[in-house]
Structure 1
Amino acid sequence: MPWRAGSCTMPMTAPNPPEAWPQTLHEHRRTTGSRIRLLFIFPHHSNRTTRRLIVRSTRNRNGYNGFENASSQILIASLGEGQARRETGCAPLSSIRSSIGGFEPEVKKDFYKVSVWSCLVACLALGPLPAHAAAPVYTILTVAGNATKGYSGDGGPASQAAFSNPCKVAVDGSANIFVSDQINSRIRQVSAGNVNTVAGNGTAGYSGDGKTPSQASISQPCGLAIDSSGSVYFSQTDSTNSAVRKAPSNGNMSTVAGTSLGAGFSGDGAAATKAQVNAPVALALDAAGNLYVADTLNHRIRMVGKDGNINTVAGNGFAQFSGEGGVATQASLNSPQGIAVDAKGNLYIADTLNQRIRMVSGGVITTIAGNGTAGFSGDNGLAVKAQLNYPKDVAVDAAGNLYIADSYNFRIRMVTPDGAITTIAGRSASGYAGDGGLATNARLNFPQGVAVGPNGTIYIADTQNNVIRLLTPLTDGSGFPPPTSNPPLITSVVSASACGAFSSAAPGSWIEIRGTNLATTARAWTGSDFQGNLAPTSLEGTRVTIAGQSAVVLYISPNQVNAQVPVTVSPGTQQVSVTSGNLPGAAYSLTINAAQPGLCQGVQIAGTPYLAAVVSNTATYILPANASIPGVTSRPARAGEVITFFGNGFGAVTPGASQGQIVSQLNQLTTPLQIFFGQAQATVQYQGLAPGFLGLYQFNVVVPNIPDSDAVPVTFALGNFAGAPTLYTAVRGQ
């Protein structure tokens, strides 16, 4: 969900490590339904004043319109900005603040008086969101493929077999899995854990009609659909052999759409076997037995009726976006690559290059997910306002939940019938990891297929990993996994991953505790968890102690807890323990230093990690001139201007911080701090805790006069401590 002020938008992003600072906004929203966040860019300095912010409630049926109602939450961030994290593989400034202790008191009235500092010049608000049911939590497991590209394994365990670019996946009523093994020119079936070829002889081509399916040559199979008799419909997508074919469970191969003339467009209103199609990437069957074809490079959806005739049901053949709210056959699609049909006959289209999911109901087409801009944003908000990134497939279950293979976001996303979207599998970067754990911690690699299985299961064609993966719900839809009888087990503790991820910490540092059975729920703190300005030390029965002292708890999940080292903990080797419910876990040793400082990273561009920084008194990010992040206003810093950035673990301040209390004064560092841009030392105007937050350090710094560069190393020295790692910023001109 972007943060907005007029035309200004900022995506919410976060770093790559698992569940880094609360992982998704749905943990925030599970208890509230709607929320507001206010962004304050801090002043030049000093005189304290009291300002009144008027928060009025406005709402319309489609979601974002105005500010929040009295059930919302508000984030107060004087001398700084406050925003929630979102995990997408980078962490612009918007990710840093609430991920490291932003205060979220509940709005109890329509008018909320806030004590802030002078010169607050920016206020960003996220409009209201209807309350949504929590999405299920899933575990993930590979059920077919050994993650090695190739062909092997027929007749044996599917998990030991090799696949090559599995394009789509389908599941029949008996939970048999069908895979279009694209580069291997085969359709393969997984039954009772074993894999076999059901169509294709492994030689790319177009032959074998009238013969058994295993004798036929097929070419670049992709789309799949299974009818009630067990017959497999699949599409061939190459330009020479574009067609849709049928492999009966008992019978001979046949063509149901397409001709030997190759790819093209012709034949509407007549027999489908005399028509041309062009790279038909996806198929779907409705309850009446009509076959829908995503005729991808014809930019149409076509239907082969039970009478064998073919007709266009959506798309006018022009590769563009048009026709919203009008007749589907007059609308424009752009390379649709996924389709699904629900029990009511509504047709869902992954309009891939338009970055949307569209629905045809009663012949009228509308967008139900995606705002048309490629990217990632919007989880736990309205799906029509979210960004998708080359959605390659779509599936729908009996309850009307929609599942999207958001391919270039490396995620599977779910849209509930009330129009809310969330991620149910995958993270910000591609890879192959996470089996046996929560699906939102796993890595996918350009998934192109998604299918609904029995008992709430979801199957994924994890295409570039060459595997099929299974999502199994941990819940009945309540959003939380069932209680466990196993005690918490800590496997690692690091300081905040956006700000160094050190293996030691300091008093007041934010840390990430990772392991198993750490909690039975997944959520971050909310305003109702606070007692006045005092932050919670327990969430849903999960508690953390460090050196025998209760720690503030910001976020919990079964595999990660984010907590703050109490400011009163002494340096030395200290014991960290987690208790979940009445189950205490074994202690974990953590080294506490007087300081363990790290600056907070923002985006990474071409492998270069950039400092999370803004121009003071603006919402403008500091990035290279050629940086292009959708919705983000950015530019290089200029010599002589003041910019602001943030850190974790910088140690003692004066006056001293109060344990667990939101900062309400200027608590400045007691240890001398030097900040360098390259070899040039910068003037530091403010160095201390960020008021309105807990444990977050803020630095207002004058940019020195240095040569222009898009990669200026920013380093620091805190007393005798030389800071690491090195981050970069961009400086051009004055």
Structure 2
Amino acid sequence: MRQLATSKRILLPLLILATCGLSFADYGDTVYFTYQIGSTIPSPQYSTITSTTTRQIPNLAIRTSGQWWIQASLSSTTTPSTLTMGVNPTGLSAGGYSGSVEVWSPNMGNTLVYYINLTVTNPPPPLTASPSSMTFNAVQGATLPPSQTLVIGALITAGAMITSDSTPPGWLNAGWISVGTAPMRIPLSISPSFTNLSPGTYTTSLHFTAPFSSQEVTVPITLNVSAPPPVLRTSANQLPFQYLAGSSTPATQAIQVTSSGSALTTAVSLSAPWLTANPLNGSTPLTVNVGVNPAGLAAGTYNGQVVVTTTGVFTNSSTQTIAVSLTVTPDNRPIITSVVNAASFKSVIGPGTWISIMGSNLGPNTLPQGVPFPISMNGVSAELDGVGGAYSLLFQFTSPTQINAFLPQVLPISFLNASCSIAVTTPTGATSFNTFCQGLAPALFSYGPQQYASATHLDGSVVGVVAGTRPAQNGEIITLWGTGFGQTAPPVSNVNSVFPPQVLANSVAVYVGGQSVQVLWAGMVGTGLYQFNIQLPDNLMPGDVPVSIKTVGTETERVVLSIR
């Protein structure tokens, strides 16, 4: 009889042709195999090949439909013989496959056909645990480590039963885990009783099973209990620094860094670029010198932190934070950067000359003053210091960056052609600037980057080319203005007053476009203010021409006059 692993027999009627009275005693069949990917290969199935008579059927052979996964063999080439049918589904993807195995003999008129049906299925999803293991790190005397959630069966069918046969130890709070459904969410936490445990490592595991799929998973749980680590201590938690802009950098301040127990290795970090610290690492106990670098900082209050942190392998790091404040106060002390002739803006000064003192923090903005000019304005004063004494200067104008002042009309001979200094005193401090005092420092007033002469027409309008001005003409009478041209004849008794115009004691030569021109009048008309009435020649070329004045061998810096 044939032996089949199938539960149902399908009879396939075949045309049996008798050859010499021999025929197969069977009709073939359909054979079913089922394979789950990853499981064992299905067992072979068997069928016995016999004759309908007592005579043997010789020359038995088999042939398949050609699929590589079909395997078939005969135990003998003569009846009775056992046909073994099997499959090798390794490498096949999930799905249905079919083929056939035929038994035949050249001595027979009929053939036995066995139809092979193979069903390949995917394996069921595994019973998973997420995470696959858990570790809790606890420190004696410290707060409990945070709880963690264990998820069992996230991949299997939702609602499928999950059981556990584990009994958690006393230090692990797991709640009810004996029975649940997928996905099973289990909050795990460490019991406060862990503080009774000695420092060390404690392990357990939780075992879970999906009864209907016979799948299981085990989750290792580890508890690391550590003794309290030593902590850092610092001698201060605040450091204030004060800095006056422009002064020397504040001295460093020392912080003592110690440990509550064994020595600790530390690193020092700074939260602001203006902070400094030395050293930046070391082992306790150590001294850290904290400083500030206020270069480039504007006035104001700055806050930063020096953070000392343990380094190396520690259960819990230890940190100390020192708050640092830096108050930068503006340096309002006066600074002189240059002293120049107020007309030419060259460093040529002398008696009876208006000068401009340039710098910073020189004083508040004030309105220009008229005669009599004061010797101080809003607490700001200045003096000329030299061999033989000091002389107060008259003020016409002050601002934070400029002071316009007048040098005495008459100075001792010891001041002339000698080194001297200009000293300025303000409510925020005092400063001085070394310069050179000439015997005579004549200069013409000008304006603009091209240094156009501050000249006027007879009607008082300004000579020039910009809006509101007009150029001079050949043959025209114009007025030039200057300072520092020396004494008048007779001398003005009090230049810091209103006085009638006084002619210069020394003759002057005026040059326009390289030509000496006629000087109609030259003299002082106000405190340190000189007027020159000249008549232009008739042959000047249109355009900008140079102008200068020479007196007592000293010639002014050239300025420009516009000719039309």
Q: Same fold (TM over 0.5)?
A: no
Which structure shows the higher strand fraction?
2
TM-score bracket for this pair, using the shorter chain length: 0.3 to 0.5
TM-score when scaled to structure 2?
0.38
Which structure shows the higher helix fraction?
1
TM-score when scaled to structure 1?
0.30
Kindly indicate whether structure 1 or structure 2 has the higher relative contact order, using CA contacts under 8 Å at least 6 residues apart: 1
> Which has the greater radius of gyration?
2
